[in-house]
Structure 1
């Protein structure tokens, strides 16, 4: 059962599944009502959001409004720039919740627009007068000291003057009645608008809390259902979602220097085995083999990592994939995915992967890596070990690197709290008591009502009120991820995975070398040395070279 208002259209069941904590935390941002500037709290070392200021503070969006619009536009807009994969999260679920939140707010804004027309536009002089009073009150409320109480007193004083004005109005006839209505009707409209805002706010907060608690909150996207044979919006949305899913499954990733592999996190460790290829039985030559032969043997052994001699739990089943890694600049603000006849649906074809593995080992161009990846802690921790094999002249090098992507920033895990305020007790002023505040304060009702008529004109509304600038190259998961090293158990998991992976890689490679007549004595000695070195308990910033 979904919570909140029922909408026509399909419901996408998303919550309650295992490994969805990171996804649902990100999706909950679409329903939040925090100030927009709080998105800055989620910035990390490599990715920083921007808050684009508007021209008029009264039109400023809150965090949920700005986030849901920015994410939906970035992930679904026609002709958008490529995205970075969200390992450990499902971007389609997040964008569907953003669309659902936008639809709920649009329905609210349609009702508020009706209120503004009936109670505001028809009685425009009174609406302008009351808006000026609210703007002055908001200005005073931002000042220090007792300015908040002064603003409330101002509003009450204006209300008393309005009553006196109605009683002693110097005008008569139709003009007098219109002036009286212009003073009273905007106030009645405010009460009507407040009821609309409170119902929607309660619905949004219930969905926000439901996503973080794991209850079944579905994202309903009615615009995905065609309402007429000639409607193309639903088909465009379907194609955009399909493209998003295909890009999420792409086997092409990007290396951005100290930022590491985008989407997989920074490189915290690197271990290299490099020895000379010498025949085991001179003068016989080494049987010809290629890098792909070694990689294929390593792939087969890594697929068995969840098996062990003891029944003690151990590794869950990993994802073992071949990756094509494209280098980009550390400060690059966009990426370009491979294209051409060797790419289909964002996937580099197997024969192209094999060719890159065997030939592109030196100089410019993409590189091949074999990756073994675990998504742990309900999607909060993504561990990736990347393996590459190169042969230059008579030296074979096997490099294993560790990448770790940490949990989603705590900002996205904060649950909604009822608005309260501490006030002094009447008879005991030295003691405080907590009083509940309205779910939607007075100024918020005014802000929502004023914004409502412009909701369907997004560029104009963004120009007037501001918006969120998403960090580029954009990916939902890595843009707001923290480092895992502050969490003791997450750090332990990352460090523990390195040793068994390194040993499996080395044993599989040495087996291939033996089968092809290579003397493996030096390889075995070097492997034993690295096996001890990998147990060093401290992660490092392996991409920051001290040169």
Structure 2
């Protein structure tokens, strides 16, 4: 812990299995580039065009603004749990990146006021040049910019040499009004370059595992009257508590939001008949079977073979609610059954025993595995139902693959391939500046508007993240393109299925149930699961 100008700051570390996915998502906050890349990541990401293209955000700015507004906004919608990542750390990195940019914008605002606003006519001439270059076709953009610069330089030289009949103060003003903005541009360029290097260092540091955790001074109250910081701290805590919910939402072909679509399903459904020598079976509840399955799942970490146990297993109970595939918001129950965002254990038990035929919600018990540094999240679930005298144990598999490749792309200096001087048939690669002249103009023009985010969004445009929003599933890809990830998802299904069946047989034997049909069906499923192929189990070929 260190004490700085912002009070006690705890350096954050994340040793969890989801460290890789967390840092990959966090790195987006420090990036530059076109914000259209963020829109292209998900088909349901929406953008609102601005009135002035020069004030448009870049990739990192759009990501931070939209993420902070969605997760910490005063009237935000509920957030889908992000399994396999720590969303609070991602949001804290976005807050830190915003703070770095705000420090830059303070300096740029001062420079813009002194060197730009006071010499507005000359500043407008330079802005027109860069705006014309931006609107020009990409092939002729550089030529248009250079031609415009030559024209403004000639105007500046002409005014400096002979400002007409104007003398005194205004004569001096005309001489320097196109020159002083150049000084401001140089100062602004140094500020932008220093900030860009700092942001890129954080970007690469996160992906390489060398960066320290985020420092968020705005979430540390400096005193009892610091209501803004206290409010931000409470919203971060609320978001963290929301991730601990056991309420899930089934959205048709999308599967369980936050857990991914269903890729396989196995059902063991047979008649409950008394065993030989017994007139009737001993009564039991659905939850008796559930508890027996849970007991077997907790043994996954152990094995008769050395190092054969399954690591990183998390066993929990889920309560699933149905929502429409096109729903843009989720909701959770309230009342005495809930403890914050979690349903109380006794209510979960009541739901497991309840007859839910024709109604919801539904109870599931399952095991979750966060693997490959959080790039693979496997969730296997089992639900127990009884209709008349038929007991059904249904096992389903869900999987979230790696985050999109854009999140794992490291920072690299921009490059350009040009023909060699004197040998036009050969090419060479040159390194371009991290911050271009057009970027300096954009940042310097945008800086004064950052004090009113609503106005800046109106003028420059904004991005709305896909709904219902969850950090992990929003940008997850399918794991089946990665051979080893696919193998892990398929392989772990076998011990899970057999654990559920073994637990069921054990309980049924204790309650005088004839096991012959259950054992025959279990053996059949055990054979099927050995050659399972992932499919779209949530998509039914029916009208």
- Normalising by structure 2, we get a TM-score of 0.96
Residue in structure 2 matched with residue 491 of structure 1 by the alignment: 486
Q: 5+ unaligned residues in a row in structure 2: which ranges?
A: none
Deviation at 1:129, TM superposition (A): 2.0
Matched, 1:443 2:438: yes
Residue in structure 2 matched with residue 382 of structure 1 by the alignment: 377
Paired residue secondary structure (2:512): coil
Among candidates 215, 223, 227, match of residue 218 of structure 2: 223
Q: C-alpha distance in 2, partners of 1:16/1:513?
A: 42
Q: C-alpha distance in 2, partners of 1:88/1:95?
A: 15
Alpha-carbon contact 2:263-2:535 (below 8 Å) kept: yes
Matched, 1:160 2:132: no
Deviation at 1:384, TM superposition (A): 0.5
Residue in structure 1 matched with residue 453 of structure 2 by the alignment: 458
Deviating beyond 3 angstroms after TM superposition, the runs of 4 or more aligned structure 1 residues are 6-9, 14-19, 144-147
Q: Cα 1:17–1:308, aligned 2, differ >3 Å: closer, same or farther?
A: closer
Alpha-carbon contact 1:88-1:382 (below 8 Å) kept: yes
1:48-87 equivalent positions in 2, closer than 5 A: 48-87=44-83
Deviation at 1:163, TM superposition (A): 1.3
Matched, 1:357 2:352: yes
Matched, 1:473 2:472: no
Paired residue secondary structure (2:399): strand
Alpha-carbon contact 1:15-1:24 (below 8 Å) kept: no
CA-based RMSD of the aligned residues comes to 1.7
Residue in structure 2 matched with residue 20 of structure 1 by the alignment: 19
1:137-192 CA-to-partner distances (Å, cap 9, x unmatched) read 2223xx15444223213213321331122112112111101122321111111111
Among candidates 522, 539, 545, match of residue 540 of structure 2: 545
Residue in structure 2 matched with residue 106 of structure 1 by the alignment: 102
Matched, 1:89 2:85: yes
Q: C-alpha distance in 1, partners of 2:39/2:380?
A: 31
Deviation at 1:231, TM superposition (A): 1.6
Q: C-alpha distance in 2, partners of 1:90/1:526?
A: 41
1:18-49 CA-to-partner distances (Å, cap 9, x unmatched) read 53110100000000001000113422xxx632
Aligned length: 539
Alpha-carbon contact 2:161-2:175 (below 8 Å) kept: no
1:139-158 equivalent positions in 2, closer than 5 A: 139-140=135-136, 143-158=137-152
- Normalising by structure 1, we get a TM-score of 0.96
Residue in structure 2 matched with residue 309 of structure 1 by the alignment: 304
Paired residue secondary structure (1:279): coil
Q: C-alpha distance in 2, partners of 1:18/1:340?
A: 34
Paired residue secondary structure (2:425): coil
Paired residue secondary structure (1:398): strand
Residue in structure 2 matched with residue 419 of structure 1 by the alignment: 414
Deviation at 1:50, TM superposition (A): 2.1
1:279-318 CA-to-partner distances (Å, cap 9, x unmatched) read 1145622111000000000000100012112114441141
Alpha-carbon contact 2:159-2:174 (below 8 Å) kept: no
Alpha-carbon contact 1:267-1:403 (below 8 Å) kept: yes
Range with greater deviation from structure 2 (434-443 or 85-94) = 434-443
Q: Cα 1:313–1:511, aligned 2, differ >3 Å: closer, same or farther?
A: closer
Alpha-carbon contact 1:14-1:216 (below 8 Å) kept: no
Paired residue secondary structure (2:89): helix
